[in-house]
Chain A
Amino acid sequence: EVQLVESGGGLVQPGGSLRLSCAASGFSFSTYAMHWVRQAPGKGLEYVSAISTNGGSTSYANSVKGRFTISRDNSKNTLYLQMGSLRGEDMAVYYCARSRNDALDVWGQGTMVTVSS
């Protein structure tokens, strides 16, 4: 079964850091670009970041550029999102998703990040 499972969410203070992980299974992880998408409570979907198959190319939304870093370990079939200098507006459910035909065809169940003192 094709599956993505996020982990690492939780409560963090403003200014703090957190690393999210996304474990992939059931498909050849190294052959797909991967994305992070977030959704603040009661709000819409927001593109966060994307990474190419070998990790050599990355992109970020302006809202997280310079604070978040996307990476992947193809030997572990795992995608990461290192988040720093967290703000209240970063509070959201974070989804990882597989990119195919420039669309996101497989999504994880999401992990909640709460930023609060």
Chain B
Amino acid sequence: QSALTQPASVSGSPGQSITISCTGTSSDVGGYNYVSWYQQHPGKAPKLMIYDVSNRPSGVSNRLSGSKSGNTASLTISGLQAEDEADYYCRSYTNSSTYVFGTGTKVTVL
């Protein structure tokens, strides 16, 4: 199972919006609405930010939103803040009854 494809880096200025894409296939992202997104700060454990494509867990900022079209899922961060600077990973269920993560995206706040 190959990793889902994410851009290596995305950057934006404070207050701007950025979007991170996560491209898979019909065997994973395109076939199921079980896409989740994780934020990871250096040296820390990942944190769940979005589940089931577009749902936010309690306590996660509403500046984050998720969506999916075909084999590509997306995470949008609006009103970019310094605290958003981190690595972000998508994850999807697959038709092999396993899971696959994305390659990861480093978000930089300029």
Contacts and interface: CB of A to CB of B under 8 A. Distances in A.
10 contacts: A37-B46, A37-B101, A45-B89, A50-B98, A59-B98, A95-B46, A100-B51, A101-B55, A103-B51, A107-B47
Interface of B: 1, 3, 34, 36, 38, 40, 45-48, 51-52, 55, 57, 89, 91, 93, 97-104
Nearest to A105: B48
Contacts of A102: 34, 36, 51-52, 93
B52 A44 contact: no
A62 interface: yes
Interface string A40-70: 0000111100100000000111100000000
A107 B40 CA distance: 11
A50 B99 contact: yes
Contacts of A59: 97-98
B102 A44 contact: yes
A104 interface: yes
Interface residues of A, number: 22
Interface of A: 35, 37, 44-47, 50, 59-62, 95, 100-105, 107-110
A50 B34 CA distance: 15
A61 B104 contact: no
Which of A59, A103, A109 has the most chain B CB atoms inside 10 A of its CB?
Answer: A103
A9 to B, nearest CB: 14
B51 A109 contact: no
A109 B93 CA distance: 23
Given A61-B1, A104-B36, 7 more contacts: A44-B102, A45-B40, A47-B101, A60-B98, A103-B36, A103-B91, A105-B57
A47 B46 contact: no
A105 B45 CA distance: 11
Contacts of A47: 91, 98-101
